[in-house]
Structure formats: structure tokens, C-alpha cells
Structure 1
């Protein structure tokens, strides 16, 4: 199946909380679940998937390879371990979670292993996450743009990442925006609240629709059934050009995910 444009993220969700959140999402109709090795919840996600009883072909599951698994000979065993935890023979998408800190492991080492994982049938598609334009160029030089299905990056009204998005668009790399609600900041935003009133929606739905209308998939997370259900309504919310222009003006460089090992971001 193709990647659903609205998925359920699992960042910071652990154990029963993660399992319950994914179970609720699947019950409500979500078919795209996003996890990662570093989240330490792949087994919890796997239990929710198994207990859902849904046919495997109806689900799109993404995981991400952590930076300590980049060295030669490590990536593929780590992905096999992720599959064991998830209870799956194959994931739909495997991403490099971050470029190697300080570029200690050469790009070719881990990208070539990722391609091999696809060739082995461990993943249907491959992609990257949190890459700068420089890192994207390096990855493309190793495996080609056609091999990179997706780039997952932080996108919300306060950090729109226009340069990186344009680079990906030009090369046919699909986009997934994480932290689309900016950890709840959008809910209190007066501009988004005003647009929401106009459409009989919520500020969160407006923020999600803003990305979806730009053909950016989104993976918001929640442990509350009401929020998970409400987020789905963003799929049918249509913002007009004036709405989109007002939201575009909210950019203020408000990056949230910026750990000490992050690359030098594009301005």
C-alpha cells in the first residue's frame, strides 16, 4: 500500500501507554504507524498491531535506524531485531533517523546497508530523517534520488523548512512532517484559532490540514482517543489561499528537535 498521509506517531510513548495509543489509533482507522529503535517501544507497537487483527496488507509501518547501528555489519542485524520486536517479517519504510553525528560514519557505509536491507526484503522502501541539504546530496550521490522514498523532518507553522522541502521536491523525495503540532503550541496560536473558527474546526486540525494541503504527510501522536479522532478530520478540512498565506507568516525558526548531535541546520 502507499503511505497514508496521516499517521500515528509514537515518540515518547512507552510500554502500555504506547500499546494503548496505537490500539486506539488502529480502531479509529489509522493505518500508518511510525516508530523507531530509539523510542524503545517497537515491541509495544507490535503487540497493538497483532491484537488489532488487521490484515498486514492494510498497514503501513515505519521504523528508524539509530545512529549506533550505522557501522559496517550492524544496520541489518539491528533491523532484524526491530522486526522481531514488531512481530513483522517486513516493515514498509525504514529511515536513517539522523545523519551520523559529526559524520563519524561515512554516508556510504550506512546508506549502502540500508539499500541492502531493502534488497533482502526486510523493508519495502527506504528513506532518511533530519538530513540537511548537504546530507541529502551525499545520500543521493551514494544511492541515487530514486532510492530515497521519503525524508522525515520537523515541520510545523513555526519551522517550515522551506529550503530542504524544495530540495526534496525537485528530486521526487516525499515529505513527512513530524511534530506537526509543535508540542501543542499551535493549539494556543491566535491566528490558527481564528482560522479554525472560520471553518468550524480546531487549531490542531488547521495546522495538520496546512501540511496535508502541501502534500506533506503528518504523524501527530496522542494518548487520548478524542484527539486521535479529531486529528483524522484534518483530512477533509480545506483551507483557502488566504488561510495558507496567514499560516505561512507564522515562521519564526521555532525548532524543537535540536539535540547536541544534530547537524548544522540549513538557514
Structure 2
């Protein structure tokens, strides 16, 4: 039987007993139907450690965990990929976040572009908790121990002028002269820009080029926004990351 993995936003140490938040206790007891003493694997998103623990059930709504031991694991790619994704519909963003985490991205930034789905700041704020939970659930499922960072609702201009940008910055554009496969990243920090349905506007592409972002093409077919980023991340991982070891 597969041991459930659980994210806890707390320091974890062998020998300690911690109360579980009610939503997690409910999920383990009433959804997964785990019994008292069931084994768990914990992580807190802060390091490369995974912790073995046992479940202590007090009632149908209350439980704690006792950490028994820790082990260092390495499931993070050497690449530090940031996906810069134009905002799409809610179901597509959920899919993009989930699959990006599974493929090993370090960060996801959602931006407004000229052709992206309109979303007010208030609507974005209301979705933040849900989006972060999507990232946590995907991290629990895929075995990673570090959470991908999520930033939201920046404009194209704000993202282009943000400090501490990586040297390798690529924007997917079907008409670009250079292919993603031949673009050679200069270090392990890589930024991939994916436009909305209809792509980035010519003006946005020019601005990106002026700020050091290189347009690249990615195959002969037109990919949907929820497909393009996942395909590009997979290709980068196969060319330069940990998928090359398969």
C-alpha cells in the first residue's frame, strides 16, 4: 500500500508530535480512511528532507502525527525553471500549475498580457488560496519536497523590468528564427514565457526582446497555452535537466 504524503507548514523533527490542521485531519481520517497508527510521509517544503511519521487519531475531526525519523532525498532537477504564463481560464491554470510542479519547475509567475483572459485583482486574490493548494497537492503526489513559488497578476512590463532575472529567458513564438532545441542556456536558471490563446502581441514580443528575452519557436504545430509550457519544460528537462538520465 502506498504511504500517503502530507505537506505540513511547520518545522519537523524526529521525536516530535504535532497537531494536524482540521482539513488535513479530515482528509486522512474521513476521505482516505486511515486508521490509528497508519504510516505517513511528511515534508515542509523548506529542504530536501522527507519525514516518516505515524497518525494518532483522537476523533473523526482531530488527529496528530508523531515524527519517527527523517531522510534526505533528491527529487529536484538541477534546472531552476520559472514558467511565466499568461493568465488563462481557471481550469487551464489549474492544469498548468499541476503539471508544471510534476515536471519540476521552481517558480510560476502568472501575468496579464494584451490577449490574456481578463481577471480583476480581486478575482486573482480570491483564487490564490486555491492555486496554492493545487501546487501543494501536486507536490504531495509527485514526491517533491520543495514547493514551487507562485507569483501572480504582474503585467508584461512589470515582469520584464523585475530585478534578479536569469540570463536564459525564452519566449515561445511560432515565427521566431531560433528553435528552443538550439538555444543554449548559459546557466541552470531558465525562464520560459508562454502567451495566451492567440499568443503574445508583436508589441509585447518586441518589448521582450529589448529586455533580453529571446523569442524561440517550438515545433511546426500550434500548441494551446496549457500545452505549450508543459511541452517546453519537458524538452528542457530532457536536454539539460534530470530527464536526460532516463
Give yes or no for TM over 0.5: no
Larger strand percent: 2
Q: Which has the larger radius of gyration?
A: 2
Larger helix percent: 1
TM-score (normalizing by structure 2): 0.30
TM-score (normalizing by structure 1): 0.28
